[in-house]
Every structure is written in C-alpha cells, then in structure tokens.
C-alpha cells in the first residue's frame, strides 16, 4: 500500500478533536477534561503542522536554498498551542470548537505546561528568532538538546526559593515528532594513538572512544500565515545497543545498564545558571553532544542534496550561528570532520570553517566567559584538544606577524589561557573560528570592541558588527494582549502583524482622547486580570487603580532587584516613620528565579518576600502600597504580567546588561521604562524620545572611571535615604524573627565595595521614581506617553533582527518572497 500522501489537515478542527479524543487520548465516555481537550486539540494542530513541514521541506529542496543552523544550548519555548493556532489562522475556529464542547479556549490554552528549555533572555531570544524566521519564510532550523528536566520550578517556602524538578514532556509532548531514522552516533572520551602515515606524515588516530546516540525530536515552528513550517531539532541522548551488547555479552549485565544510565544523563538536565560556573564535565559533554549531532545532520544533508559534491563548498549550503560560546566546539568539530574524515587540507578546511561559522556574544562580564580546563578537554575530547592547539598555533603566528614581539598581546589573545590552570577560552575560539562576531545592542557591540576583546578588534575590525535584539511581537503583543491588538488593528489595519514598522502610524492616535480612553480601559482590564491571578497564586489583594511597577527577570546582582527593593523600603519607611504621603498608590511586582547556587540572589528573593509580608500586613500602607513576589516566573507568566504593567524596571548597572529583551516587550505593551543607559535601553530612548522614558543613573563610561575610586561609604554618609534604608536593614526591621539575616547584603553594599553601584545610583533612582509618580497623576499625559511607547517600538521586533542577520551574516533568503 502506498504511504499516505494526502494532506490530513483539511478536516474541521471539531472533527479532529473528536478523532483525537478517541484515538490519541483514548477518552470515549463521560465528559472529557480540560487536559483531554488540550491534548486532542494539540494533536489536531500537529497534523496541520506536519503537512506544513512536508510542504516547506519540498519547497526548500526545490530551491536548493542555503540554510541557517541556529546552534543554541537553550530554546525557551513556553507554551505552543495559542501561538500555533494564531499563526495558522485557526484561533476563531478553535474558539468555536472548544465552545461547542463546553470549554473556553483561553482556559484550555492556559492548561498547557511551558516547555522550559532555557534560563532567560538568551534562550527566549532563540525561540523568538525561530518564529520570525519562519514568518519571513527563511530556511532556518534550531538545533539543541531535548532536556528531560528543563529549568527548575520555583517554590517559595517561608520567603526562600526552593527548587523542584520540572519534568516536562520531553518524550511525550504533542509538539515533538520523534525522528529515530535520523539518529546519529557521537564518539566521546578515548585516547590518541600517534601514528605516521605511509608517506611519513603525522596521522593521529582517535581510538577507544565510547558512543552516545543522539535521537532527534522535531518541534515544528510555524510562521504567521502558515506558509512556512520550519523545525527546532532537539536531541535526546541514548546509549548505543551495540555498545551495551558488547558488555552484556561479556556477562556484565549490571555494567551494561549502568553505562546506559550514564549515557542518558547527557540530555537529562538544563544547567540552571545563566553565567558560566566552574567547568562541569557533564556540561562540556552536553555542549559537544549538541554540536556533534547538528554537524552530522548538516553533513548528511549536504551529501543528500549534493551527491558527490565537495565539502569545500559546504559554506554555500549552510551557516552555523553560535548562540553565545556554548556551541563553540562547532569550530573544532567541523575541522575534525573536514580534516580527519574528509581528508581535506588544513587551509581549505579552515576557510570552510570560518566561512560557515558566526558567533553572537551575550555578555560583557569577563567572569561569565566560558573557559574549559585543558585536562578535562583532553580526557573528554582528546582529538579536539589537539585541533584547538593547532588552530591556536597558526593563529598566534598571524598575531606575531601583525604585532611582532608583543607577547602580552599574544597572551591575551591566545585560545589557551593560563590563569591557575591551563584552559581553553571559548570566546577566543569562537572569534577566531568565525567570519562574524556580533553583539546584541549598539552599546554592547561597542563595548565588545573597546572593553571585552579590543585586541581582536584591532586585528579584524571588519569581523565585528551589531545586531540589536528583537522579540516576536506576535507572541509578545498580538497573542498575549489580544484587546490591545484588536484596538491597534481597528485603528491602523492588520498590516502590523507582519510589518511591525507600520505600528508607527499609531503615533497620531496618542493624543486623541477617545483612543486614550480605549487604551486605558484595556490596560485596566489587563490589570484586573493580573490582580485576580495575584490573589489566586499569592493571596495578596492589589488595587488595579494603583501604578503597577514591575521588575520580572532572572535574579542577578547586576540587574539590581536590590536597588528596586531599597526603593520599596525607602517608600515604606518614609510612610510609617516620616509620615510621607505617597503621590500615587503603587503595586510593586517582582518575579524571577535565582540560580540554585547563587546565595546572594536567593537572599535577595528572601528580602523581597520579607518586605512584602511586612508592608502588606501593615495597616498604615492600606490603599497606598503593596508588594508582591510572584513565584515561578516563566514565559507563560510573563505573558500575563507584561500586558498589565504601567512601569517597566530596567535598572541594571550601566555597561552590564548586554541588551535586555524584557524592556522591549514592556514598551510594546505600553509600559513606560524606568531605566539606566544600558543595553537596548539606549535604543529604546532613541526611539521613544526622552519625554516618554525615565532615564537615571551613572553612564557606562563613568562607571569604568569611578570603579577605582568609588567608596560606597561616601554615599552612605551623603544620603539620608540610603542611611535610613541600610540602618533599617541592619536593625532587622525586615527580618524581625531572623536577626542578622540580611547582613551579607549590607556587607556587600558597604564593606564589599558595592560592585554594582547600588548606592551610587540610589538618589538618582529615587528622583526618577518621583518623576514617575507625578507623571502617573496626569492620566491623559501618561496614556499619551504609553501609546507613544507602543507606536515607537517598531524597531524591536525580531522580524527586523533576523532580516539583518540573514542579509549581513547568513546569506539566506526568503523562500516565499
């Protein structure tokens, strides 16, 4: 019998749901649960996606189009149902179909668990890019790891963060399609046998390696309009049966099982830190596993599509984009494949590698750069270490040519660094092995050149470029804020959904009273919904008329949630001790996870929770202020919080936040930013204009200058406000039953030199907050500014970002015109 080739997806959604309720979910009697409906609807949508995948793949083959392989250790997908329905144009039909079954689509969609395969900004950026690339009809694919445990679930116990494993449906999600036939085999460990070839040349052999299997799972990524369905390919690690059988036949059954377990740990868990921690072997293996699987896939495709073709033109078929240094072993693995497996000459292989690879940097903190100890690499990937030495030898010869005798420079630029122990500097490897190095906001890209790697910039200025981040406005405005989306469409048509620059035509509405009224009504409605959620999850009653002041993001000292917390304490102490009357009532909303091993981040979470408890139970704060820490921040929670925000807190120490992307999401939903001149805030200021944003604080260059002479005690003595807050902390006013609990915070701020300049920026921050409060009193003026933020957020769509990458770096084109 021939294989079914008919597109399955043309039956109605209702028919599909009925079919899948019976045959996929196995529910045939009684009333199906919300979860049953979710599953059945997801399976119905999955069939449509598969039709799209097949059609897109055929189109790509026919065009022989160059493609992008986006390599990332993280893809923070969140929920999929609503966005898939939206992009397929099926939202209304799905609403009707679920209504007929007695359910509300919103409730069904809310039941879906997030796919938590990322820590924060970097992982979410990768997910936004895939959606924009599909919408633009680009042949672009994500490659990563199918972690069985994604980022931990955050519980709050007595104000402290507790981590719980989040076992999402890595092998049973309706969105994942297992592709066992494309399984690949990855060697690891082993040793090098130093041999000479017949002609006397050195011919090292990598022997005695172990094998891991990479089983791909594809998550379809549909673009708006449904014309293009690309995929994100996530690999699960499995033990090889063949390898097990060898041990097993040797009679050692238990060793065979142990080995299987060991191999399968490779894709077990996502590392929950968003800065590079001390080099852990498992993480290194993960990074190699992902890269090795992706390359095998690319090479196999190349041979399928260019039978007999020479790999010397590989870079005409594919570009490998490294999302930070996590996939930077791609440089060594590609060289190994070309030189060892395809017997290509070194120079030719190097030309291909550099032309095929590109690197995006996401951090300016030197301590967050990845370094892998040489001994560890030697044990796990001995052949790759050899290749890295050879890459480095040739590279340093170039440096010596250009800067003869400058040993200090060579030391700084060397791929192998010497600080305590010898280690491979992955950023240096990524820069040397790429034809493009980009930062993620204008300021960040500038600081890469002047502060992070000036020596590399001096050698290869043409390699460095900027690609300011963006977010998909379909998820972050159209889907998560449907009422505002509808108002926009009523006013300017629906062109903005695919051409977000068109959002600017809203500008003229900003000062129209009727439009302002509508805008404010929607904002208020979103705030009421969030207030209900806050009550349901945190049992705190908040007033939708108050100013919703929001800081939601990973908890980090450089992001300065502590500065915000200090302002909250300042307001509270002013109210209860000094009798200040606040200008407007505020609700201070926080959410975010701290890395499990990051003690200070976890103490800041505890501080915010203690402040919330004390402020919220004090009758003197009634009707004036509330503080909430919402637990378990994740994509789906962000989608509820952001549309309800009035004020977006983007207050990192200048020069430390590479870009930020939350800042963009808030602006497009009509929140005003209070922020430092850091990351993309600088560009948000440029776009929205100084009247429509609240900028404060020391600038990046000044921070650099002041770092040597800064004494936080000077600020303490000079500022009444700082003293009031720190003295209250010292006197345990925010931890009455837990004396000394927050001493480490005081120590860091005063005796530890306040490396993040909280005290230096405090007074300027308070002054900016005062401007915010008085601004909020003037309702029409505030609405006008908020609307202008929406209207002027056009630059910050990831559609623009991926088009710039496609043109300047990847050399890929739309297949849909």
- Residues lying near ligand 26Q in the complex (CB under 6 A) are found at 119-122, 125, 271, 273-277, 283, 326, 362, 370, 440, 469, 657-661, 679
Residue 681 beta carbon to ligand 26Q: minimum distance, rounded to whole angstroms = 10
| CA–CA dist 541, 539 (Å, integer) | 7
Of 758, 224, 741, give the one whose Cα is nearest residue 479.
Answer: 224
Catalytic residue chosen out of the listed positions 227, 553, 631, 800: 553
Q: Which of 228, 319, 661, 673 is catalytic?
A: 661
Active-site residue, selected from the candidate residues 233, 336, 527, 554: 554
Nearer Cβ to ligand 26Q (122/331): 122
Per the annotation, the verdict on 523 as an active-site residue is no
Q: Which residue's CB is nearer to ligand 26Q, number 48 or number 362?
A: 362
Residue 469 or 653: which CB sits closer to ligand 26Q? Answer: 469
Instruction: Give the residue among 548, 559, 785 at the shortest CA–CA distance from 647.
Output: 548
Query: Is 270 or 298 the residue whose CB approaches ligand 26Q more closely?
Result: 270
Cα torsion angle, 329, 334, 339, 344, sign: negative
Smallest gap, in angstroms, from Cβ of residue 600 to ligand 26Q? 17
Smallest gap, in angstroms, from Cβ of residue 48 to ligand 26Q? 31
Q: What is the 3-state secondary structure (H, E, C) of 5-46?
A: CCCHHHCCHHHHHHHHHHHCCCCCCCCCCHHHHHHHHHHHHH
SS3 48: helix
HSE, CB side, 13 Å, CA atoms: give it for residue 99: 6
Q: For residue 730, what is the enclosing H or E element?
A: helix 720-730
| Least Å from the CB of residue 128 to ligand 26Q | 10
**Catalytic-residue membership of 124:** no
Taking CA atoms, 579 is separated from 582, 620, 621, 719, in Å, by 9, 10, 11, 19
Which of these is catalytic: 527, 559, 606, 792?
559
Q: Which is nearer to ligand 26Q, 423 or 658 (CB)?
A: 658
CA dist 603 and 33 (Å) reads: 40
| Calpha distance 348→359 (Å, rounded) | 20
Tokens of 88: 């397929």
**Helices and strands of the chain, counted as H and E runs:** 33, 25
CB nearer to ligand 26Q: pick between 131 and 274: 274
Residue nearest to ligand 26Q (CB): 121
Assign 160 to helix, strand or coil.
Answer: strand
Tell me whether residue 279 or residue 582 sits nearer to ligand 26Q (CB atom). 279
813 catalytic residue (yes or no): no
Known catalytic residue at 198: no
The residue from 20, 46, 283, 362 that is catalytic is 362
Give me the helix-helix angle, 91-100 and 13-23, nearest 10°: 60
The distance of closest approach from Cβ of residue 206 to ligand 26Q in the complex, given in angstroms and rounded to an integer, is 25
Say if strands 416-419 and 371-373 run parallel, antiparallel, or are unpaired: unpaired
Q: Is 153 a catalytic residue?
A: no
Hey, which residues does 629 pair with through a beta bridge?
590
Strands 672-675, 694-695: pairing kind: parallel
Q: How far is the CB of 368 from ligand 26Q (least distance, A)?
A: 7
Active site annotation includes 665: yes
Catalytic position from the list 665, 733, 758, 792: 665
Minimum CB–partner distance for residue 742 and ligand 26Q (Å): 26
Name the DSSP letter for residue 178: E
Return d(Cα 600, Cα 744) in angstroms, integer. Answer: 8
| Active site members | 362, 553-554, 559, 661, 665
């Amino acid at each position: 019998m021939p294989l079914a080739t008919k597109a399955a997806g043309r039956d109605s959604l209702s028919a599909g749901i009925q079919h899948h309720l019976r045959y996929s979910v196995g529910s045939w009697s009684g009333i199906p649960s919300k979860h049953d409906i979710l599953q059945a609807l997801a399976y119905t949508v999955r069939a449509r996606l598969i039709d799209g995948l097949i059609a897109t793949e055929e189109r790509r083959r026919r065009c022989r189009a160059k493609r992008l392989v986006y390599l990332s250790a993280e893809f923070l997908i969140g929920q999929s149902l609503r966005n898939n329905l939206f992009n397929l144009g099926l939202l209304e039909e799905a609403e009707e179909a679920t209504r007929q079954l007695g359910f509300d689509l919103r409730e069904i969609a809310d039941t879906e668990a997030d796919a938590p395969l990322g820590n924060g900004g970097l992982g979410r950026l990768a997910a936004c890019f895939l959606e924009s690339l599909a919408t633009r009809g680009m042949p672009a694919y994500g490659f990563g790891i199918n972690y069985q445990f994604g980022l931990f679930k955050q519980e709050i116990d007595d104000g402290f963060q507790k981590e719980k494993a989040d076992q999402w449906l890595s092998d049973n999600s309706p969105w994942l399609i297992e592709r066992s036939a494309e399984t690949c085999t990855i060697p690891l460990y082993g040793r090098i046998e130093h041999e000479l070839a017949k002609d006397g040349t050195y011919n090292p052999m990598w022997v005695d390696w172990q094998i891991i299997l990479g089983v791909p799972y594809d998550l379809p990524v549909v673009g708006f309009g449904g014309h293009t369905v690309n995929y994100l390919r996530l690999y699960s690690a499995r033990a090889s049966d063949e390898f097990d059988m060898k041990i097993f036949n040797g009679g050692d059954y238990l060793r065979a099982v142990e080995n299987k377990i060991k191999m399968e740990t490779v894709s077990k868990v996502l590392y929950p830190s968003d800065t590079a921690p001390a080099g852990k072997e498992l993480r290194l293996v993960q990074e190699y596993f992902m890269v090795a699987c992706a390359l095998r896939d690319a090479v196999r495709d190349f041979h399928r599509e260019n039978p007999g073709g020479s790999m010397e033109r590989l870079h005409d078929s594919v570009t490998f984009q490294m999302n930070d240094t996590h996939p930077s072993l791609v440089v060594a693995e590609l060289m190994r494949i070309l030189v060892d497996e395809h017997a290509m000459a070194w120079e030719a292989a190097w030309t291909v590698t550099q032309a095929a690879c590109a690197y995006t940097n996401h951090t300016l903190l030197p301590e967050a750069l990845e370094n892998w100890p040489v001994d560890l690499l030697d044990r796990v990937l001995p052949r790759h270490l050899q290749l890295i030495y050879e890459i480095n030898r040739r590279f340093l010869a170039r440096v010596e040519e250009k800067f003869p005798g400058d040993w200090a420079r060579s030391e700084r630029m060397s791929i192998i660094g010497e600080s305590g122990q010898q280690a491979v500097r992955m950023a240096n490897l990524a820069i040397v092995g790429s034809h493009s190095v980009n930062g993620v906001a204008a300021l960040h890209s500038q600081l890469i050149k002047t502060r992070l790697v000036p020596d590399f910039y001096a050698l290869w200025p043409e390699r460095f470029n900027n690609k300011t981040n963006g977010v998909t406005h379909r998820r972050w405005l159209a889907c998560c804020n449907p009422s505002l989306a509808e108002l926009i469409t009523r006013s300017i048509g629906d062109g903005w959904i695919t051409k977000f620059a068109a959002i600017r035509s809203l500008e003229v509405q900003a000062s129209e009273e009727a439009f302002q009224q509508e805008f404010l009504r929607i904002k208020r409605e979103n705030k009421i919904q969030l207030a209900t959620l806050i009550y349901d999850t945190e049992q705190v009653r908040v007033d939708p008329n108050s100013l919703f002041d929001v800081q939601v993001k990973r908890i980090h000292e450089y992001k300065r949630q502590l500065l915000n917390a200090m302002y909250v304490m300042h307001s509270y102490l002013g109210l209860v001790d000094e009798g200040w009357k606040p200008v407007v009532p505020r609700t201070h909303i926080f959410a975010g996870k701290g890395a499990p091993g990051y003690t200070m981040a976890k103490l800041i979470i505890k501080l915010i929770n203690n402040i919330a408890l004390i402020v919220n139970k004090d009758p003197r704060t009634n009707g004036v202020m509330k503080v909430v820490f919402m637990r378990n921040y994740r994509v789906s929670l962000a989608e509820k919080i952001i549309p309800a925000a009035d004020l977006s807190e983007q207050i990192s120490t200048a020069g430390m936040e590479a870009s930020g992307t939350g800042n963009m999401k808030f602006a497009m939903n009509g929140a005003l930013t209070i922020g430092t001149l850091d990351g993309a805030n600088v560009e948000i200021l440029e776009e929205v204009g100084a009247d429509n944003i609240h900028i404060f604080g020391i600038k990046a260059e000044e921070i650099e200058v002041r770092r040597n002479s800064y004494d936080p005690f000077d600020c303490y003595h000079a500022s009444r406000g700082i003293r009031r807050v720190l003295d209250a902390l010292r006197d345990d006013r925010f931890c009455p039953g837990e004396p000394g609990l927050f001493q480490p915070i005081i120590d860091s701020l005063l005796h530890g030199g306040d490396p993040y300049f909280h005290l230096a920026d405090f007074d300027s921050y308070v002054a900016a907050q005062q401007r915010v409060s008085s601004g909020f009193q003037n309702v029409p003026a505030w609405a006008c500014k908020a609307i202008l933020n929406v209207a002027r957020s056009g630059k910050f769509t990831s559609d623009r970002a991926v088009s710039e990458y496609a043109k300047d770096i990847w050399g890929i084109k739309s297949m849909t015109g």
